Structure 1
Amino acid sequence: MQQFDYIIVGQGIAGSLLAYQLIKADKQVLILNDETLPTSSAVAGGIFNPITGKNLDKTWLADTLFPFFKAFSLSLEKETHTSFYHETNLFRPYANEQQRKHFLKLTDEYDLDRYIRLVKPEAYSEIENPLGGLYTSSAGWVDVPVMLEALKQFFLQKATYQPEKFDYQALEISKNSVAYKGFKAAKIVFCEGYYASQNPYFKWLPFNPAKGETLIATIDNYSIKEIVNQGSWIIPLGDQQFRFGSTYIWNQLDWQTTDESKEAISSKIDKFLKLPYQIIDQQAGIRPTTKDRRPFLGNHPAYANVYVFNGLGTKGVSLAPYFAQEMLFFLEKQKDLMPESNIQRFYSLYSL
């Protein structure tokens, strides 16, 4: 029986970055990943943004997360000889005079100078911009499929990756170890994204999954390098291709694209994009969001060597590196997890 320190189930954003950090800490890791399942990571827009929402809310832990996330991403790019981190920043044109006044009031009230500056009208000719808008720095997007493929190749080179549909019935849990088929490990960590809803050990956690759809389009003569966001957003992908998004659907959790979402996104894009475009693809995924919008980290209430790292939701690309390190410290150094992320906050929901 092969011996490991950790078995990681799932090679999405959470599983990949936790496995990577464990391997860099000289731990013997086995990653089991079901390659037959569709995943939200494979179609994620990958936007990161320190200031979000209609009230210009600073992203939770932004001042800590974003410097760590940038340094980690650039280091990983260098090690894997890939390019997936794109700090293109973000422009929000005012939708109307009411929103302009609201945003200006918020920028006066809150200390946002580190991230936001005002943009004059008509700064961009390709979009409707009669009132100007807000420019947010430290924003951008991660090409998640490129990052995950680079990490998969890293894992294959280390002989730590195996395509495998996990069979929960085959997991044997003892006091000091777990066994799965021909493998044995001190600990197992489930990083299954949306599919945690089918995991008998963690399906009691209060996930609030949301389906999202995006469009891939071509636009001729569009030169804006920033992400533009006004109800829907445009991400420049390169080669005259762009991603439009996104929808949030809670009552139809499947992986099928719909005409309704295509129309919903297009109608919002049409309000501010002046140039014609052609839609060439449409994608759907299910985000592993949580009811309190905080991640799920920690160990099972009844099995001390069974863990979860999940619930990163819409901010997964910026949350994952930092919280993978927090999970590493928790697993290896017995460092306490912050209460906002520790699943102990939901232990009362668990019953044998």
Structure 2
Amino acid sequence: MKDFIIVGQGLAGSILAWNLMQEGCSVLIIDHFDATTSSQVAAGVYLPITGRRIVRTWMADELIPCAEDFYSSLGKFFNTDFIHQLSVLEIPDSVKVYNEWQMRKSHADTGKYIARFHAPDSFSELNCPYGAVELKPSGYVDLKKLLAHLRSYFVQNGSLKDAVFDFKHLQVSDTIRYGDIESKNIIFCEGIAAQSNPYFRHLPFQPSKGEVLTIHSELLPQDYIINKSVFVLPIGNHYFKAGSTYEWKELNNIPTEAAREKLSRQLKELIRVPFEITGHLASVRPSVKARRPFAGMRSGIPNVGIFNGLGTKGVMLSPYLSRHFVNHLLKKEKLMPEIDIAQYDDLL
């Protein structure tokens, strides 16, 4: 009998499985590879300050050190690099916004993350008439590479079943049975598919479609992540990811010409050097209305749980919150009220 079945091998499921296995738990992941999931398509950026209001990202003081340590340690285990620490260049679009950044430098919660202010003529490749604001610690995680290494590891350890999960084969009682597999618990980490999950489909998800371009430019700087109305992320050899869009109605994985044109227009407004579009991907993020993830076991069914809804900040959230969830599962540590699905018992 397994200790845990985990449904889904995206970022949430992979890191949760890894942390459970590090605690000596027997785990079986059920997942059929799909190159268009949000974990596969996402740029994997993390940064400490976010939004037009220029506020510190929720729990940034705890999340970023944990994430950087986790991905660095995992890279050492696999003898490769998953995390790339790069400063973010925020490009103000007005004097008012630039002055707001200057004011935020003196605030205790944001000031320590503002490394320096760059003059307008610092980057000839960019259109930044009001200069640029450098943030750190920040960077990105190569999610495709990370998930591929973890998948190989899980397969080699007999911990992954490559299959589409089918609720017809699931039986829930004092134990979990899925076909001929028995387990003490099952935890769903299935991203957007949770909206069809009979146990959790009424949770307040607010999925959004995002589209990302891959571009090539010989002249763009490769030592910063650039962020204005669009982010530009260097991924090596003069290639960059650029995105992203938000769409709440047409929720599918099909790239659209409208998004391509919008991103291209935003890039041309930001970049002063030539670039070529070489790729275009789309996916649906499992975002949440309250902008906080879901974790916990279903009320009245203590062996059925969920870890989902990490949204656009999954790279930052996954290491810290998965460890927190593991401590809840194994050591009865109380879950943070912000993420505990007990707050949604009336919906479930």
Inter-CA distance 329–43: structure 2 relative to 1 (3 Å threshold):
same
Question: Displacement of 1:142 after TM fit?
Answer: 0.9
In structure 1, what is the Cα distance between the partners aligned to 2:139 and 2:345?
36
Partner AA of 2:289 in structure 1: K
Inter-CA distance 163–5: structure 2 relative to 1 (3 Å threshold):
same
Alignment correspondent of 2:36: 38
- Answering whether residue 50 of structure 2 is matched by residue 16 of structure 1, we say no
Contact 2:7-2:189 within 8 A present in 1 as well: yes
Question: Displacement of 1:222 after TM fit?
Answer: 2.0
Alignment correspondent of 1:102: 100
Aligned to 1:304, the other structure's residue is in SS state strand
Alignment correspondent of 1:147: 146
- Answering whether residue 248 of structure 2 is matched by residue 259 of structure 1, we say no
In structure 2, what is the Cα distance between the partners aligned to 1:299 and 1:266?
43
Alignment correspondent of 1:120: 119
Question: Displacement of 1:129 after TM fit?
Answer: 2.3
Alignment correspondent of 1:317: 315
What CA RMSD, in Å, does the superposition of the two structures yield over aligned residues? 1.2
- Answering whether residue 313 of structure 2 is matched by residue 293 of structure 1, we say no
Describe how 1:334-349 pairs up with structure 2 within 5 A: 334-349=332-347
Describe how 1:1-352 pairs up with structure 2 within 5 A: 3-36=1-34, 38-116=36-114, 117-175=116-174, 177-350=175-348
In structure 2, what is the Cα distance between the partners aligned to 1:224 and 1:322?
29
Range 201-210 or range 131-140, more displaced: 131-140
In structure 1, what is the Cα distance between the partners aligned to 2:127 and 2:59?
33
> Normalization by structure 1: what TM-score?
0.96
Partner AA of 1:151 in structure 2: L
Runs of 4+ that moved beyond 3 A: 108-111
In structure 2, what is the Cα distance between the partners aligned to 1:241 and 1:108?
36
In structure 1, what is the Cα distance between the partners aligned to 2:73 and 2:100?
39
In structure 1, what is the Cα distance between the partners aligned to 2:48 and 2:153?
30
Range 28-37 or range 271-280, more displaced: 28-37
Question: Displacement of 1:224 after TM fit?
Answer: 3.7
Question: Displacement of 1:37 after TM fit?
Answer: 7.2
In structure 2, what is the Cα distance between the partners aligned to 1:236 and 1:321?
23
Aligned to 1:337, the other structure's residue is in SS state coil
In structure 2, what is the Cα distance between the partners aligned to 1:50 and 1:324?
19
Question: Displacement of 1:82 after TM fit?
Answer: 2.3
Count of aligned pairs = 347
Question: Displacement of 1:158 after TM fit?
Answer: 1.2
Partner AA of 1:347 in structure 2: D
In structure 2, what is the Cα distance between the partners aligned to 1:235 and 1:36?
23
Structure 1: stretches of 5+ with no match in the other structure:
none
Contact 2:36-2:282 within 8 A present in 1 as well: no
Question: Displacement of 1:109 after TM fit?
Answer: 4.3
Inter-CA distance 236–277: structure 2 relative to 1 (3 Å threshold):
same
Question: Displacement of 1:110 after TM fit?
Answer: 4.8
Question: Displacement of 1:106 after TM fit?
Answer: 3.0
In structure 1, what is the Cα distance between the partners aligned to 2:230 and 2:259?
12
In structure 2, what is the Cα distance between the partners aligned to 1:182 and 1:290?
34
Inter-CA distance 30–345: structure 2 relative to 1 (3 Å threshold):
same
In structure 2, what is the Cα distance between the partners aligned to 1:196 and 1:43?
18
Identity %: 36
Question: Displacement of 1:235 after TM fit?
Answer: 0.3
In structure 2, what is the Cα distance between the partners aligned to 1:263 and 1:339?
41
In structure 1, what is the Cα distance between the partners aligned to 2:219 and 2:113?
29
Aligned to 2:284, the other structure's residue is in SS state strand
Structure 2: stretches of 5+ with no match in the other structure:
none
Aligned to 1:327, the other structure's residue is in SS state helix
Range 189-198 or range 165-174, more displaced: 165-174
Partner AA of 1:126 in structure 2: E
